[in-house]
Every structure is written in structure tokens, then in C-alpha cells.
Amino acid sequence: MNKKELMDVYYRMALARSFETRVAEQYTKGKIGGFCHLYAGEEAVALGALWSLRPEDRVVGSYRDHAYFLMRGGDPKTAMAELFGHADGCCKGKGGSMHMYDAEINFLGGYAIVGGMCPIAVGLGMAAKYRREDRVVLCFFGDGATNQGVYHEALNMAALYELPVIWVCENNHYAIGSSVARSSAEESMVRKAKAYGMPTHVVDGMDFFKMQSVAERAIRRARKGRGPSFIEAMCYRYRGHSMSDPATYRSPEEVAFWKKRDPIPRIKAAIGHDFEIGEEEFAVVDERVRRELDEAVAFAEAGSELPVERLYEDVYVD
């Protein structure tokens, strides 16, 4: 990767992280309603996985979805407006935090049902194969989703029909307050996935480069028509499960352990080392992020709700 690309990696991760900080502020002020789950800490998983996709490839994920949307190229303004429930939002304010969506960038949704994105990924993979389209599907879900029945049905079908789906399991070690050890009989997500006869990878999800290189291999394989792959990205969410969770079930030592592995200082150190970039150049990017997020909040503040008569629009295709 050249310097320009690497600075873009830094920008996208910094944007996603700061976006979540702004969301937390606005949520606390009462500007954002409903459930709201932040992605802070997991940025390298999403960006590493998304990096080698083409614009026509499709992406689905969980309700922890602000970062997928932004990193896929979604507009921070329409994301923030969506969170405010306003008509300028990417889903006209009808979706909110858990249901970001923008067909133009082929981000086909955050899904609030745990595991619910998995059969949708199968459908998208099946459609691409049936229509002989050269596009792959990337599906993000949590460790908790692997305990859902539908998840196993989806992996089985994807493997059976050799569909171009890349499964990205964000193993952040918790499903709400239940640790993997307390909720999954098999603690290794790749061991669970191996039953479906597809290549599996465990990767340090706090490291952009490792994540990107594993995902690239899986994407290449899917593109060649050789079927799905499974990636278990070991990671951690820095905040509670959702805005209402103080996360008292985790020890300060555990949180500190993962904060030492923060993907953003790590990428900064790697770029700084390879290209001799100093703080000033990163500060320019940080300033750009600050300005774009100021604009996003101002845009969301200025908007208003969709008139109630339009509530049932877009429910069915005409």
C-alpha cells in the first residue's frame, strides 16, 4: 500500500471512531432515540474486511453498523440525520441506529435480529451466482450470532452451493453481558464453522493489515467461484453493548489489555514508521474528521421528521 492509501486507512478509522464519540454525546443529550450500539475498538475488523471489495460487491452486517456504513463510503451527514430520526437520513429517519442502509454504496443493511443478516447474505450470494454476476458478499456478525439456528442453516447453504460469501465473525468475546465462555459450548468460532467444509481463518482483528490480508484472500477465492470462507476476527468493543450498558461485567484490567492493542494508534505507528510521517500530517486528518463531524451534527440538527403521511412509503416495492 502506498502512503496515500494508508492515510486513507487512518482517515476512515479515525472518522468511524470519532463518529461514535459524537453519537454518544448526542444520545446523552436526548437527540437520538432507540437502541444504539457503538463500534469503537473494532474499526480494523470492518475496514480490513471492506478494503479489497469492489463497489459492486455487497455488504450486510449487524446493528453495530455505523462504521460499516461510513467505511463503505456512506455520508456522515445522512448517517447522523438517520440517528436523529430525520427525513434527510439514509433511511429517511425510519430505520435509526440499527438500520443504516444505502443501496448506492451496496451497503444493504444493518440488521437488528442476531444472525438475521446471515440468510440475507446467502440470498445475495445465490442471486449473484444465478445471474452470473461477478460480485461477492461480505457478511459481518457477532460471536453471539453463531448460537442461532439460522446461522448454521446459512453457512451450510453457502458452502453447499459454493456461494461467493465471506463470513466475518467479530469475536468481541461478549453477547451483551454474556461472555463466549458462558454462552457457547465451543469457544472457538472457527471450530464451529469447520463443520461446513469451508476454509477458516483466525485473525487479530485489532490489526488492520492482518485483517485486510486474510479478507483479500477470501474475497479472491469467492470471486473465482470457489465458494465461501470464514474469518474469526478477535476483537473488543470499548463501550458497553449498547448506550444503556455500563459494562460492569468486565474488569478494568481486561479493558486495559485491549486498549493497549487499539487499532488506531497501531496504524498510526505503522504508517509513521514506514513513511516517516509526523504528528502534523495526522493532525491535518484529525482536523478534517472534526470538521466533517461538526457538519454532520449541524446537518442533523437542522433537519426534521418525515411527515406522518409518508410513514408507509417504501415498505413495499411499487
Ligand X SMILES: Cc1ncc(C[n+]2csc(CCOP(=O)(O)OP(=O)(O)O)c2C)c(N)n1
Positions touching ligand X (CB under 6 A) are 62, 64, 112-114, 142-145, 170, 172, 174-176, 241
Distance of CA 251 to the CA centre of its chain: 25
Min dist CB 107 to Mg ion, Å, is: 20
Nearer to ligand X, 164 or 240 (CB): 240
Min dist CB 117 to Mg ion, Å, is: 14
51 to 80: interface string for Mg ion, x by CB under 5 A:
------------------------------
Q: Which does 145 bind (CB under 5 to 8 A by kind): ligand X, Mg ion, none?
A: ligand X
205 binds Mg ion (CB under 5 A): no
With H, G, I as helix, E, B as strand and everything else as coil, classify residue 62.
Answer: strand
The residue within the footprint of Mg ion, chosen from 172, 200, 212, 242 (CB under 5 A), is 172
Which residue lies nearest ligand X, judged by its C-beta? 142
Grid cell listed for 120: 440475507
Beta strand extents in 122-210 (DSSP E only): 137-142, 165-171, 174-175, 178-179, 200-204
Nearer to ligand X, 74 or 144 (CB): 144
Grid cell listed for 279: 504528528
CB 270 within 8 A of CB 47: no
Min dist CB 79 to ligand X, Å, is: 18
Q: How far apart are CA 200 and CA 171, in angstroms?
A: 14
Min dist CB 187 to ligand X, Å, is: 13
Q: How far apart are CA 214 and CA 257, in angstroms?
A: 24
Q: Which does 114 bind (CB under 5 to 8 A by kind): ligand X, Mg ion, none?
A: ligand X
Q: How far apart are CA 217 and CA 212, in angstroms?
A: 9
143 binds Mg ion (CB under 5 A): yes
DSSP letter, residue 310: G
- Cell 429517519 belongs to 93
The site for Mg ion (CB under 5 A) is made up of 142-144, 172, 175
